[in-house]
Amino acid sequence: MSIKVLIPTPLRPFTDKKDMVEVEGATVGEVLANLTSEFNQIRQHLYSEDGAFRSYVNIYVNDEDIRYLAKEKTVVSEKDTISIIPSIAGGVDVDVQEVESEIQLSNDEVLRYSRHLIIPEVGMDGQKKLKSARVLMIGAGGLGSPVGMYLAAAGVGKLGIVDFDVVDKTNLQRQILHSTRDIGRSKLDSARETLEGINPNITIETYETRLSSENALSLFTDYDVVVDGTDNFPTRYLVNDACVLLGKPNVYGSILRFDGQVSVFDARRGPCYRCLYPAPPPPGLVPSCAEGGVLGVLPGIIGTLQALEVIKLLLGEGDPLIGRLVLFDALKFTFRELKLRKNPECPICGDSPTIHTLIDYEQFCGISKSGISQQPAADEKTEITVEQLRARLDNGEKLFVLDVREPREYEIVNLGATLIPLSELPKRVEELDPSREIVVHCKMGGRSAKAAAFLRQQGFKNVKNLVGGIDAWIDKIDPTLPRY
């Protein structure tokens, strides 16, 4: 019996880039066993060494999580679809400030919001709720741009924005809060200027700081709803835990390439993010937008949905996405909705929580404070700097330089190295000469570190990872090369 298995973007390199495969099996366990037999490289991403499912990967049959069915013994038929969902990065009462009788809309505001006022579910009372509401946005980037613009336009009275970055040219393909003239400028200054231009009647509070365990609770306390526009797992878990501890709704969005996710996590009424993903994936498994790319309009779609969910929460109207995860595939233009359940064993919102304070989220996600995967201290046997590589090449040394990026990245810029993408390396390892000294590079050093470690496991004695990748080469050796 053949069962359809939907493969998410991060795992497609291990299924010959297929987004759907048909696999034989009568139960989920049999189907996935046959899947990993056919595509051996995917096994380590689905199962731990003891054979259990990874905690950062969820398996669904149609729209039901198998953790709440019969797990791997769940019976399937030809009409069923199995989905692999890894982590990527009725009306509800929200503790919005009481709408005081003295809160009024000016004539200018009545005119500005007139299309809201004639909607029965909004009206004057609803618009006053929006005016009295306080929403905190984490990030002023791809997701934060549409969220901020639509919440400002809608008349949300106070918008808080947490960010510490500056505008980069690579941001402009999707971060529509900012323009070419803002390059090098604080994102918060640029965002404030844009949002005040959209609606001068609202208050904008900016926090130019990195969100941390030390400041999250104090920053979140004065806001009614928190919008997660982050792009990394430590901050995503930090946002979740702070919201759970304070009893705040967390409007979640995540994007990669052509795929998007959106949900509302509110532990008072449903699951939290940890219920869905108890633990993060290992560093490097899920590529960042800088390495994996993102379609420019995708954050506009997902961010707009986040803004919609915020407004519904503030108005107390409709059915927010609590207990539901929406998946969007831009290439196929399909929306899928999966049911989420509260995990009674969740360490922060379950029946017997073990997390009562904020923790070290970089350590929890296997990331050091500098953002590099935790690993033994590097030495000259495992790494090489771009300056060292340049000097050795200039001296005529016969180093073999291996590029493990994707062909589309190689086409943008390359160092003339041999290209074998990381996903193809296990199948093409015999093309390499173990007797030669090999220097492996990628864009920033993450994928090449994994490739170098793999080659050492295969018996290669002299393999070095290029620190900082081709980005470091452009920064320190040849700034004339194109950057992406």
**Phi, then psi, of 61 in degrees rounded to 5:** -105, 115
Beta pairing, strands 438-441 & 463-466 = parallel
Q: What is the pLDDT of residue 289?
A: 65
* Residues involved in catalysis: 289, 442
Let me know if 395 is exposed, middle or buried by CB neighbors in 10 A (0-12, 13-18, 19+).
Answer: exposed
Q: What is the pLDDT of residue 216?
A: 96
Instruction: Determine the Cα–Cα distance for residues 8 and 19; give it in Å rounded to an integer.
Output: 7
**Phi, then psi, of 271 in degrees rounded to 5:** -75, 160
Helical H runs in 26-112? Answer: 28-38, 43-46, 107-112
Instruction: Determine the Cα–Cα distance for residues 222 and 245; give it in Å rounded to an integer.
Output: 14
Q: What is the pLDDT of residue 375?
A: 41
**Phi, then psi, of 437 in degrees rounded to 5:** -80, 125
List the one residue out of 300, 316, 217, 315 whose CA is nearest residue 262: 300
Contact between 153 and 171 (Cβ < 8 Å): no
* pLDDT of the chain, 484 residues: tens digit per residue: 799 999 987 788 888 888 899 999 999 999 999 999 999 888 888 888 778 888 778 899 998 999 989 999 999 999 999 999 887 664 444 555 555 456 899 999 999 999 999 999 999 999 999 999 999 999 999 999 999 999 999 999 999 999 999 999 999 999 999 999 999 999 999 999 999 999 999 999 999 999 999 999 999 999 999 999 998 889 999 999 999 999 999 999 999 899 999 999 999 999 999 999 988 876 655 666 666 788 999 999 999 999 999 999 999 999 999 999 999 999 999 999 999 999 999 999 999 999 999 988 888 877 654 444 444 344 578 999 999 999 999 999 999 999 999 999 999 999 999 999 998 999 999 999 999 999 999 999 989 999 999 999 999 999 999 999 999 999 999 999 999 9
Instruction: Determine the Cα–Cα distance for residues 193 and 181; give it in Å rounded to an integer.
Output: 12
Instruction: Determine the Cα–Cα distance for residues 107 and 126; give it in Å rounded to an integer.
Output: 16
List the one residue out of 344, 425, 438, 442 whose CA is nearest residue 397: 438
Instruction: Determine the Cα–Cα distance for residues 255 and 105; give it in Å rounded to an integer.
Output: 37
DSSP 75: B
Q: What is the pLDDT of residue 90?
A: 45
Q: What is the pLDDT of residue 1?
A: 78
Strand partners, 373: 367
User: What amino acid is encoded at 194 in this protein?
Assistant: T
Domain annotation for the chain: domains and CATH numbers: 2-86 (3.10.20.30), 133-364 (3.40.50.720), 383-476 (3.40.250.10)
Q: What is the pLDDT of residue 286?
A: 64
Residues with Cβ < 8 Å from 315, sequence gap 6 or more?
91, 121, 122, 126, 129, 130
List the one residue out of 89, 16, 484 whose CA is nearest residue 291: 484
List the one residue out of 340, 279, 336 whose CA is nearest residue 19: 336
Instruction: Determine the Cα–Cα distance for residues 137 and 139; give it in Å rounded to an integer.
Output: 6
Indicate if the alpha-carbon torsion angle 399, 405, 411, 413 is positive or negative.
negative
Q: What is the pLDDT of residue 370?
A: 42
- Cβ neighbour number for residue 93 with a 10 Å cutoff: 9
**Phi, then psi, of 331 in degrees rounded to 5:** -65, -40
Extract the tokens encoding 303.
Answer: 């961010």
